[in-house]
Every structure is written in structure tokens, then in C-alpha cells.
Structure 1
Amino acid sequence: MNDLSSDLSSDNIRRLVQEENVKFINLQFTDVFGKQKNVAITTSQLDSALNGEVMFDGSSIKGFVRVEESDMVLAPDPSTFQIFPWRTDSEGKAARMICDVYNTDGTPFDGCPRGVLKQVLAELKEYGYEYYVGPEVEFFLFERDKDGNPTTEIHDTAGYFDMSPTDLGEDARRDMVLMLEKLGFEIEASHHEAAPGQHEIDFKYGEALKAADQISTFKLVVKTIAKKHGLHATFMPKPLKNAHGTCMHINQSLFKNGKNVFEDKDDELGLSQEAYYFIGGLIKHARAFSAITNASVNSYKRFVPGYEAPTDIAWGIENRTPLIRIPGTRGSGTRVELRNPDPTANHYLALAAILSAGLDGIKNKIEPPAYFDGCTYDMDCATREENGIEKFPETLGEALSELEKSDFMKESLGEHIFNLYIKAKKAEWRDYSQEIHNWELKKYLNYY
């Protein structure tokens, strides 16, 4: 596994560790469901880590391996080394490296989500393309109770683009931006979102693997800084009824030889044939990948008309109501925006599934239907049928049924992750379905 790092990168890390008085290094990775994990080592074990010699118990990680085959190896990516700016005490600093997970025989572990994304990117590279992603990750800030536990008490009553003093989260959001910049992010904008207590920080698009790693860092920073302000940050898609939900829009484009291949100046819409095929692939596989991009029961409570969340699998030009939007920017900024994903998704798997779908469109020349320029929220069944538009799944249960019958997604994600993911999420859906909720008690207990 020594090929995962160059000698120069390793030497730079050793130098930085010594110069910056780093005492602990977190070796970070995600489980199949997107939960961030880490093994902390002291700097005395740095060489072992860089040589891919740090082992851990994979059976303790949900979705990895059985107890009788538990030894696994963390192989850090040296390019992800960063010192945590918020850990600067006199005892020494802390840093991190993001890792791939390997088997003890040196082969990549099939259940490593980052590894799955790297495999899809490797296939894409065979076609001469590079995949660039600009995620828009939203979050809510809520108050904590006297014991420090999170509540659903909103931190403010502000709305879209409101500012201080109405936007009470501005100070926390500012500190998040400053911390992200210290970690190398190029922040393009930050603002209050549409719902009370809801916020968005946009960072510059980048190569897909780097963008996925940045989402991991982004979530960690947002939660860390919120806690320092006495607040709780959540990426739950729909924490408040009758309010906008939290999304993770994925803006994406393909480049070849430094040129955005989605642009065609001679086309009526300014889009290339590759862009149309890519859109066609997304539309074809949208129902199949929905359980990956929208991974929780709560995710599907976001998909209601009127809150800028897509309910129909259509595409449009600058139209924010369908599944796919083509923003007005052209040139190097030409991109396809997928509007259904949310932050409950394992972002490595989500990008792998989305890219696989788009690439399938290019490989098999899948033409999309005509773009829809109306409001999909007002669409009736006749219009939907006339335009060949399917509805997006309305529940996690429906989404899982679509995923389970997709051989394409099984091949894209790998059998290990595919089977385990469906099994675990079916149990989650079953548990939710069997629960007696307060709404039911209020509605029926006295009525019947």
C-alpha cells in the first residue's frame, strides 16, 4: 500500500508534524451509511500509518465484516493531511488524514465507500473525462437545553438572505467560514436559507474525490463550531413541518483536456450531446439511486410541492421545481444540477451512484425527454403521462424497492455494499413503519 503516498508527501507531513507540534493524528473514514469514524494515533505511529500498517477491528463498524474476519487496515491519503485549527492547546495540536480501507492482504476492501467512488472515477478516466462537483450543503442551527442536549427550538425567525440582527446565526456561520478557510476551502458565499434557523455555506467546486472529502470536513467543522456557540447543527433533511428542508444539491460537470465538455455554443440551449446523454442517464436511474442519495425515512418528507424540493423526475432550464436544473451559466460553468440529494447520504456512495448513472447515459447514448419549462408542482397525471415523467419515490420503502431491483446499481456499488445497505435500510423502514407516532395517537385515539 506504499503506492498510496509519495515520499515527498510523507516527508512534508513529517516536517509539519514536528514544526507545528502535532501530537495526535485522527485517521478518518466513513462507514457504509456515511457516519464518520476515526482511529487516533500519536505521532510516534506516523510512519506506521503512512506505510499502511495501522489495523483496526472492522467487525465493530456497522456494515464492514464479521467478527471472525475482523482485521482491517487503514491506508491514509497523505494529500488529505490537515491540522485542526480549533485544537491549539499547549499539550500539542491534532491533525487528520482521510483513509481508504484495505484488507490485510493489501487488496481494497469492497465495503469502503471512498474506494467505491475511486473505482467509478477510474472507469470515467478510461473515457478521458474528469468529474467535477460543487455541492450545496445546507444545515439547521437549533438551541440546546440546559443540559446541552439538542432541541428543535429554532435559533432565529429569519428567512432567505436575511441579515443580522434578524439572522441570529450569523456569528456562528461567520466562524464556520473562517475555520473552513483555514482548512483550505475556497468559500464562494454564505447566507441564511429560507427556513428559520436554516443556513448554507457554498464552497468552490472541485474534482469529485476532493469534493467528497471536503463534505466530510464541512460536516465536522459545522458541528464543531456550532457547539462552541452553544448550538446544535443538524443535517436532518426535514426537522420542521411546513418549512423548507435541507438539501445537498450536486452541481456537476465533466472536463476533458481542461475543457468543460457539457458546453456547446452552437446548441440551442448551450449544451453538448454528452450533457444531454448525462441527463438521460440520471433520469433513467433516478428512482434506482434515490435510496442512496436520500438515505433516511425523514428524507422523503422533504419532497412536498412548494418547498423547492423535486417531486417529479424531469429536467428544466433554470427551473427549480424538477429533479434536474440547468443553471444559466455557460462556458466553464456549464453544469447539471441534481436537486434531490440530502446530507443523510453517504456522499462517497451518492457521487458514485450519480456518476455511474450519468456515465451510463453517455456510454449508451440515452436521450433525455424534452425539458419541462412549467412548474412540476402543478402537474396533473395527464400532463405527467403526456411528457413521460415519472414521480420521484415518496417513501424510503418505495425507494428501497427500486434500488433492490436495479442490477445496474448493484454493479455500480458492488455486491457487498448493495446487499448490506438494502438489508439495513429495510430494517430501518420496518422499524419506522411499526412505530406508533404521536400524530396517530392525536388523530385516532379519541376518534375511534
Structure 2
Amino acid sequence: MATATDVLNAIEANDVDFLRLQFTDILGTVKNVSIPAHQAEKAFDEGIYFDGSSIEGFVRIQESDMRLEPDPDTFALLPWRSRRGDDTVSARLICDVMNTTTGAPFAGDPRFVLKRAIARAEEMGFEMNAGPEPEFFIFEKDEKGRATTKTHDAGGYFDLGPKDLAQEIRAEIIYMLESMGFEVEASHHEVAAGQHEIDFKYDDALTTADNIATFRAVVRAVAELHGVHATFMPKPIAGINGSGMHTHISLFSDGENAFHEDSDEFGLSDTAYAFLGGILEHAPALTAICNPTVNSYKRLVPGYEAPIYVAWSDVNRSALVRKPAARGPASSRIELRSPDPSCNPYLALAVMLHAGLDGIERGLEAPAPVRENIYEFTEADRVERGIETLPSTLGQAITALQADDVVLDALGAHVSEKFIQAKTQEYTGYLASVSPWELERYLETF
């Protein structure tokens, strides 16, 4: 664990000029307050005050003063500053948001929501590890520098150059991530043209959420340096695969993988099955958090490898949860395949953890695995097997969230109220909009 002194020494050793104090709003957008590096000691001793009334889902105007407390473990130099030939050296610290009135953690801080979930797991004797697989698209820009949906290349799954024109961009992303402390495990071109995936090693839940937020910032920054646009929008182009963020999950207890059992057919323990049962039971409400935009539901449709069926399997990817083939005490885990990279990583991991822990507390039993391709099932087949589908719209997901006390409790009263309010407005606005598809289909017909 790093200390404030460690950070102050690193600032001096690296001649850091500015510190970016980062946090996220409820929707997962990274915010930051920049301070001169000589203010770092003050930031650790007193915190840095800011106006929270303009941040999505934070506080009312009459309660606007908030305080940022930097987490020393998150110190990292920002490598893209020197890449521009700028002599200025900047670093970042991820912060916790504090209530200035009470001095307690702010209930609307997504990082606090995840910390609360982690504390619940610790009370039950568990630590959650998570490994995300975020996907993204790279698009060309137009002559005015605005993003288009013209893909940067025409490559396909695992293609090499010259089809994969983004190898250099991915390599630079990886270099920068590693300079910030990431352990990158793999990168490759994804199925769709212009689509890519970079996987980094699993870690504890809080570090993983911090890493996802950092990853998205680095990808966008490197893309800008190359004159292209990177997006984590789940479904930017109709008719091709969307971008997901499959998330591998395991629980450890006393240093041992609590999900592993040698004698089980799938290498899973009773704890793993109960956790899995909780994930499946709360899947509709989880979807509102893990797939939080109107566009998310353009990805969650049959035919594009996105999971929409509430089931699990070890042999196919049509189910919501997959048991990866890797076996052994260090590798037993489950993979939740529905999340997409537009989600707030802190809230998403928090609700996943609460849902699974609810399954453990209640001793839920996971259903039998579905080893057939569910995409080929008829509706009658699915009814017979008791296989439900995820919400098909953001509106349905919000309704499911409002009816799920476990997931609402995971978010806390403040975040759940503000999140539902923001997403209801988003969905209502979408319903009232008129799309180009409608104009093309109806304008001259009626």
C-alpha cells in the first residue's frame, strides 16, 4: 500500500508539474480537478474542495461543497503528455469524494458504493477478483475533426496487418497502460471492422474499477494522438457486432479460490453455484447498471454473439454466464457476458458482487447448465427450460431495477434515486425522438 509520503517523493523524483485529481459521476464519466504539484501535500492533509452541484447525480445547489481525498495507491504519471512533445509532466490520483458537512464518504460517490460492497464481502470472509474484457471501435474523423462511423480498418477477428491497421495504435495503448502499472495479457482485432479488444490481468474489485476508468481514458487519448476517434459506445453501427465488456469473477477466502472444487464436474464449488444463482436471479436489474444506455439494447439482440438469455453454460456463448474452460485452484471463475463498456465500472462491479453475495447468503442453487445453442431454441423450448430473457429496452431494465431491493440496496438510496431519474429522462427523451429510420420508412409512405 502506497502512502502520501511515497507519492510526494514520486512527484519530486519525476519533476511533476500538475496533478489531476480524478473521480467519476454516477453515469461513469471521469471528472478531474487539476492542481499544481506543489499543492499535493495540502491535498493529502486537507483534501481539495470543489462544487458538486454541477456533477451528474451529486448534490443540490445548496449542498454544493464537496471534498476530494486522493488515494495514494492510484498515483500514476500520464504518459501521453510527453508523447505530444510537451515538457509539462502530469500525474493523476483517483479520489474518494467526501461530504464536507459530516466528514463521511459521500453516498453518491460510485467508488464509495463499490467500497461498501467490498466491505460486505469482507464481512462474509470473501474478496472479489474481477477481470474485464473491454471492446471498442476506432473510427475516422471528418475534415472538421468530428467523429464519423467510418471504420479505421476492414479487419476481422484476430486479423493481422495489413487488414488490421490499428496494430500500432493498440501497441501504443499497451505501452502507455504498462507504464501506468497495468499488466496487459492480450490484445487483438475483434469480429467487426474497426473493433478491438485489450485484456488486462484480473485484480481486486476496486483496482479493477479504477483500471477500467483509466483504460477508457488512455484509449481515447492515444486515438486522438493518431487523429482518429475511439468509442466505447455499445452499438455504433447497425448490422455488425457491438462492443461488450465480458467480466470474469471469482471470490477468494483466506488466500484460496472459493469458487474452486476439484470433485465437481465443472470445477466449481457450492459457493460458486450459489453466487451464480444470485447473478441469474438478479440479472434483469443488473442489466440497468451494466447496460445503462438506450444504445446498449441495440447490442443485446439475437444474432450478434451478445447474451440475452438468463442461463449459464460451459460450452457455448449464447448464455448470460459462461464457465471458462480453464480449471484449477487459481483459475475457477465465472464470466458474465452482458456488461458493455459504457457502464460505470464502480456501480457495475458493486451490483454484481451484491447479487452474488445474496445468492450465497440465501443458499441459492444454480440451474443446470444449458449446453445447446439457445439462439436455436424456439420460444416453447425456452419456456420448457425456464430460460428467461434480459430486458430488451432501457425502460424495461429500469422497471426491473425498481423492483429489485437487493440491487437498489447495493446502490444506496442516493445513487439509485439519481440513477433512475437520469435514465428515465434518457429513455423518455429517446421515445419522443424521431429517428432517420422512421423518416426513411414513413415520410413518403403516409
Alignment of 1:267-416 (within 5 A): 267-331=264-328, 332-416=330-414
Report if the CA contact (8 A) 1:369-1:387 is conserved: no
Which AA in structure 2 matches 1:42?
Answer: P
Runs of 4+ in 1 over 6 A off after TM superposition: none
Report if the CA contact (8 A) 1:311-1:376 is conserved: no
Aligned-partner Cα distance in 2 for 1:235–1:336: 23
Which residue is 1:433 aligned to? Answer: 431
Q: CA deviation at 1:430?
A: 0.5
Aligned-partner Cα distance in 2 for 1:319–1:51: 52
Aligned-partner Cα distance in 2 for 1:237–1:254: 28
Q: CA deviation at 1:44?
A: 2.1
Q: CA deviation at 1:259?
A: 1.2
Q: CA deviation at 1:306?
A: 2.1
1:206 to 178, 183, 203: 203
Cα 1:52–1:131 shift into 2, 3 Å: farther
Q: CA deviation at 1:60?
A: 1.2
1:169 to 166, 170, 184: 166
Report if the CA contact (8 A) 1:52-1:76 is conserved: no
Partner SS for 1:411: helix
Which residue is 1:17 aligned to? Answer: 11
Aligned-partner Cα distance in 1 for 2:129–2:172: 27
Which residue is 2:99 aligned to? Answer: 103
Report if the CA contact (8 A) 1:278-1:359 is conserved: yes
Aligned-partner Cα distance in 2 for 1:90–1:350: 36
**Kindly, what percent of the aligned residue pairs are identical?**
50
Which AA in structure 1 matches 2:430?
Answer: Y
Aligned-partner Cα distance in 1 for 2:295–2:357: 29
1:55 to 2:49 alignment: yes
1:92 to 88, 96, 102: 88
Aligned-partner Cα distance in 1 for 2:128–2:5: 29
Report if the CA contact (8 A) 1:144-1:232 is conserved: yes
Residues 95-115 of structure 1: CA deviation (Å, up to 9, x unaligned): 000011000131010000000
Partner SS for 1:344: coil
Which AA in structure 2 matches 1:25?
Answer: L
1:38 to 21, 32, 35: 32
Aligned-partner Cα distance in 1 for 2:41–2:89: 18
Aligned-partner Cα distance in 2 for 1:183–1:19: 16
Which residue is 2:22 aligned to? Answer: 28
Partner SS for 1:263: coil
2:239 to 227, 237, 242: 242
2:71 to 74, 77, 91: 77
Q: CA deviation at 1:240?
A: 1.0
Partner SS for 2:35: strand
Which residue is 1:65 aligned to? Answer: 59
1:264 to 2:261 alignment: yes
Aligned-partner Cα distance in 2 for 1:127–1:303: 34
Cα 1:381–1:137 shift into 2, 3 Å: same
Partner SS for 1:333: coil
Q: CA deviation at 1:20?
A: 0.9
Q: CA deviation at 1:53?
A: 2.3
Residues 194-237 of structure 1: CA deviation (Å, up to 9, x unaligned): 00000000111111100110001100110000111111000000
What is the root-mean-square deviation in Å for CA atoms of aligned residues? 1.1
Aligned-partner Cα distance in 1 for 2:252–2:364: 19
Aligned-partner Cα distance in 2 for 1:11–1:118: 24
Aligned-partner Cα distance in 1 for 2:257–2:315: 19
Which AA in structure 2 matches 1:333?
Answer: S
Partner SS for 2:3: helix
Aligned-partner Cα distance in 1 for 2:438–2:223: 34
Aligned-partner Cα distance in 2 for 1:328–1:60: 46
